[in-house]
Amino acid sequence: MIRLARYLKPFWLHLLLAVILLFVQANADLALPDYMSHIVNVGIQQGGVENAVPLAIRADRMELLTVFMDAQEASEVLAHYNLVTADSTHYARYLEEYPALSEQPVYVRKEMEPAEIERLNPLLSRPLVIVSGLEQMLSDPARAAMIASLLGLDPSELAAGQDILQLLAKLPEEQLAQIRSMVEQRLGAMDESLLVQAAALPIQAEYEALGMDTAGLQTRYILRTGLLMLLLTLLSAACTIAVGFLAARTAAGLARNLRRLAFRQVESFSNAEFDQFSTASLITRSTNDITQIQMVVMMMVRLVFYAPIIGVGAVIHAVGKSASMWWIIALAVGVLLGLVLIVFSIALPRFRSIQGLIDRLNLVMRENLSGMMVIRAFNRQDFEEERFDRANLDLTRTMLFVSRLMVVMMPLMMMLLNGLSLLIIWVGAHQVAEANMQVGDMMAFLQYAMQIVFAFLMMSMMFIILPRASVSAGRIADVLETEPSIRDPDQPRQFPEQGRGRIEFRQVCFRYPGAEEDVLHDINFVAQPGQTTAFIGSTGSGKSTVVNLIPRFYDVTSGAILVDGVDVRQVTQHDLRDRIGYIPQRGILFSGTVESNLRYADENADTEDLEQAVEIAQVDDFIESSPEGWGTEISQGGSNVSGGQKQRLSIARALVKKPPIYIFDDSFSALDFRTEADLRRALKEKLAESTVLVVTQRVSTIMHAEQIVVLDKGRIVGQGTHRELVRDCQVYREIAISQLGEEAAA
């Protein structure tokens, strides 16, 4: 995938926005368990009391709390409260809010920053818990007598309903300091959040004593927190949708660009590169491989950035909820990573082989479809079915193995998650029972643990899917990074304006890429405008190779080919091929109509040019006999027309181009002798000013050519007219006699 990373540059803005949105989404998702714990801890257990700093408190109650503070603490606490009495401003408003104000003064909290509240929490939570505990103990006569004896008081005074403040007021400062020290030792081990939770109950009791609406306080807190959770959920959903949109656009855009670049690269390939990549493989790379990359990129944008953010954030939040339970998360992650590594090591070799197996299946399928007539003619259907089944079953077995591995992995993951949940609940319950943890914090820890495991699960799934995509990316990169062996020069030359298409071969030698020996040796000839230069020889003598060097389908190994005095390697391929009308042995037609195939050579050709081309190519009778005429449909590859019609349409297409050079690479092989004779006669008349090169196996086709080049084993063994070669060239004479007989050859 790294080799294709540079193709993501056009989508950097999409990726940046996606990362920002994922960060927002992750923070929203991480905040939800925290708010849920607030609802449980504060909204339900604490009745909506958020901290240990009450909104209001009766004067005598505040005086009692200050008994368990030193002078500095008491001064700091009282500095944040206003004492409201009957003479105070806004007494009526406060009386409506705190009805108990009619009986005694009330301390009302000033406006405070959250940091100030956090600082006062420990100062007030401990006295509130102490006083509440003492009141509960004094409500039991037996325990009250025990406390009185510990304090050195008369138990009868407690039984008479003596106020606790009055009892504590009787104690000397030394004894009060001793009591504070004892209480601090017992409460010192408690977590501050647990002290705040313990202080919530006496604060609720104080609110009730003040006449406040405690039920409304609880309801408002739960609704407010629930509304925040709803807004965060909507924000997370909006980010999810936006990231999905950006990921889809990025992945689809990358796939579009890769397909376009791969297609453009393949168009620039010479025959040497096509020998390196099979057609079936190129099709698979342009379709299946790019689809794999598109799918993985979409998942990567969505998960690769999100999973680490949510994983690290959840660890921080979980440890913040309960640092003593970190080992549970470490255990779960360790087991998960071990499972993923095992699966990864087993699945990776299979993923690497899948794309090759798809290539093989496509190759067999393509060969069967293109060679169906031959298969039927030789009754080899059973053999081809068995061959296809082997390729199909190889791919199926590999896919099934990987799928079964994934199927087994998912139940194991769910078992891990459920086991983790049970362990957290079991350990957390003991922590709650020992007053080391709140219920809401345990629930939040459970959700954070699930987020951590799911984050690692998402990353592990990516690591499992990435190998196959990495193989696909490598195959696409191989195509894109393949340097075409035939390239345009940095400073191309131009053909002379008066050039007519003169072709000269100078000491040309050629060797196929990777071959050990040359297939052409010292080829020298000149093809003049207005003349026909023909090439003939036995099969494998190099006839087609010679003419394929002219349009630079291959480049010469040594020597030079000149067109109008300019080396073909010194001009652009476009300019060179613009001067050539090439007709291959196997006529290639494209899906469309007769007219669209002819206009393939020149989109702007007028009707007169088209009519003249089909007349010369002897294909006008075919067009006129068809009801649709020029609009006659041509199926893919021209499969709905005969071989002769394909060749004639291919010749007509080249004639529409009107180039100075024509190359007929055995383009008359599918024509009958009469049609060929008519076609040659028309070509001779209409192409009198052009350079014509003809590759053929028929002597009758080239008997009247101005120049015939005879090839044998890659060398020129004869060159001249028909009569000269029959007289002077043994190879040509043998070919002529074998085709025309002794008398006709002479």
Q: What is the average per-residue pLDDT within 415-429?
A: 85
Q: How confident is the model at residue 161 (pLDDT cuts 50, 70, 90)?
A: very low
The CA distance from 494 to 507, in Å, is 23
Which DSSP string do the residues of 725-742 spell out, in sequence order?
Answer: HHHH-HHHHHHHHHHHHH
Report pLDDT for 675.
Answer: 84
Q: What is the average per-residue pLDDT within 600-616?
A: 87
Report the mean per-residue pLDDT for the chain: 84
Q: What is the average per-residue pLDDT within 57-85?
A: 87
The residues with which 693 forms a beta bridge, in sequence order, are 533, 663
Q: By percentage, how much of the chain surpasses pLDDT 90?
A: 21
The CA distance from 495 to 579, in Å, is 10
* Residues 440/309, Cβ–Cβ less than 8 Å: no
The answer to whether residue 11 scores a pLDDT higher than 70 is yes
The CA distance from 34 to 448, in Å, is 9
Q: What is the average per-residue pLDDT within 26-30?
A: 91
Tokens of 32: 């939800």
* Residues 440/32, Cβ–Cβ less than 8 Å: no
* Residues 503/562, Cβ–Cβ less than 8 Å: yes
Nearest CA to 679 out of 592, 593, 617 is that of: 617
Element (H, E) at 138: helix 114-138
The answer to whether residue 188 scores a pLDDT higher than 60 is no
Tokens of 299: 């998942």
Report pLDDT for 223.
Answer: 93
Which 3-state string (H, E, C) describes 514-556? CCCCCCEEEEEEEECCCCEEEEEECCCCCHHHHHHHCCCCCCC
The answer to whether residue 179 scores a pLDDT higher than 80 is no
The answer to whether residue 498 scores a pLDDT higher than 80 is yes
**Alpha carbon distances (Å) from 215 to 141, 475, 520:** 32, 68, 101
Q: What is the pLDDT of residues 450-487, one digit of tens each?
A: 888 888 777 777 766 777 777 788 888 888 888 888 88
The answer to whether residue 177 scores a pLDDT higher than 90 is no
Sort 238 into a burial class: Cβ within 10 Å, 0-12 / 13-18 / 19+: middle
Which DSSP string do the residues of 188-234 spell out, in sequence order?
Answer: TTS-HHHHHHHHHHHHHHHHHHHT--HHHHHHHHHHHHHHHHHHHHH
Report pLDDT for 464.
Answer: 67
Nearest CA to 416 out of 470, 491, 343 is that of: 343
* Residues 155/144, Cβ–Cβ less than 8 Å: yes
Report pLDDT for 505.
Answer: 94
What is the rounded radius of gyration, in angstroms, for the C-alpha atoms of the chain? 46
Backbone angles phi, psi at 108, to 5 degrees: -110, 130
If DSSP codes are grouped into helix, strand and coil, which group holds residue 487? coil
Q: Which residue in this structure is represented by tokens 């301390």?
A: 107
The answer to whether residue 159 scores a pLDDT higher than 50 is no
Higher pLDDT, 28 or 282: 28
* Residues 592/634, Cβ–Cβ less than 8 Å: yes
If DSSP codes are grouped into helix, strand and coil, which group holds residue 58? strand
Q: Which of 164-178, 217-231, 276-290, 403-417 has the lowest mean pLDDT?
A: 164-178
The CA distance from 544 to 488, in Å, is 23
Which residues lie below 8 Å from residue 722, measured CB to CB, with a gap of 6+?
Answer: 699, 702, 703, 704, 705, 708, 736
Tokens of 245: 């949109």
Higher pLDDT, 143 or 625: 625
Show the CA angle centred on residue 541, arms to residues 537 and 547, nearest 5°: 85
The CA distance from 679 to 670, in Å, is 13
Report pLDDT for 171.
Answer: 63
Report pLDDT for 746.
Answer: 56
Q: How confident is the model at residue 21 (pLDDT cuts 50, 70, 90)?
A: very high
Reduced DSSP (H G I as helix, E B as strand, rest coil) percent helix, strand, coil of the chain, to 5: 65, 10, 25
The DSSP output letter for 111 is P
Summary count for the chain: helices (H), strands (E): 29, 15
**Alpha carbon distances (Å) from 12 to 21, 453, 517, 626, 700:** 14, 30, 50, 55, 65
Which residues lie below 8 Å from residue 579, measured CB to CB, with a gap of 6+?
Answer: 495, 499, 501, 563, 659, 660, 661
| Residue 638 amino acid letter | G
Highest mean pLDDT among 302-311, 342-351, 434-443, 533-542: 533-542
Report pLDDT for 485.
Answer: 80
* Residues 206/97, Cβ–Cβ less than 8 Å: no
The answer to whether residue 180 scores a pLDDT higher than 70 is no
Q: What is the pLDDT of residues 338-373, one digit of tens each?
A: 887 787 777 777 776 776 788 788 788 878 877 787
Q: How confident is the model at residue 167 (pLDDT cuts 50, 70, 90)?
A: low
Report pLDDT for 87.
Answer: 85
Q: 707-712 and 691-695 as β-strands: parallel, antiparallel, unpaired?
A: unpaired
Q: How confident is the model at residue 449 (pLDDT cuts 50, 70, 90)?
A: confident
Domains along the chain with CATH numbers:
35-223 (no CATH), 255-480 (1.20.1560.10), 517-579+661-746 (3.40.50.300), 587-658 (3.40.50.300)
Q: What is the pLDDT of residues 99-155, one digit of tens each?
A: 998 888 999 999 989 889 888 988 888 888 888 877 776 666 666 666 666 556 555
To the nearest 10°, report the CA torsion of 47, 49, 55, 58. 60
**Alpha carbon distances (Å) from 160 to 139, 147, 154, 388:** 12, 15, 11, 102
**Alpha carbon distances (Å) from 260 to 264, 267, 286, 488:** 6, 11, 9, 21
The answer to whether residue 604 scores a pLDDT higher than 80 is yes
Q: What is the pLDDT of residues 553-597, one digit of tens each?
A: 888 999 999 999 999 999 998 999 999 999 887 878 888 888 888
Nearest CA to 477 out of 299, 254, 271, 298 is that of: 254
Which DSSP string do the residues of 553-582 spell out, in sequence order?
Answer: SS--SEEEEEETTEEGGGS-HHHHHHTEEE
**Alpha carbon distances (Å) from 255 to 9, 15, 103, 359, 560:** 13, 15, 79, 19, 41
The answer to whether residue 76 scores a pLDDT higher than 80 is yes
Q: What is the pLDDT of residues 736-746, one digit of tens each?
A: 888 887 655 55
* Through-space distance between the first and last CA atoms of the chain, rounded to whole angstroms: 68
Report pLDDT for 708.
Answer: 93
Report pLDDT for 717.
Answer: 93
This prediction has a pTM of 0.73
CA 388 to centroid of chain Cα atoms: 32
Tokens of 437: 């943890």
Report pLDDT for 605.
Answer: 85
The answer to whether residue 160 scores a pLDDT higher than 50 is no
The answer to whether residue 166 scores a pLDDT higher than 80 is no
Q: By percentage, how much of the chain surpasses pLDDT 70?
A: 91
Q: What is the pLDDT of residues 239-264, one digit of tens each?
A: 999 999 999 999 999 999 999 988 88
Which residues lie below 8 Å from residue 512, measured CB to CB, with a gap of 6+?
Answer: 272, 275, 519, 554
The answer to whether residue 693 scores a pLDDT higher than 90 is yes
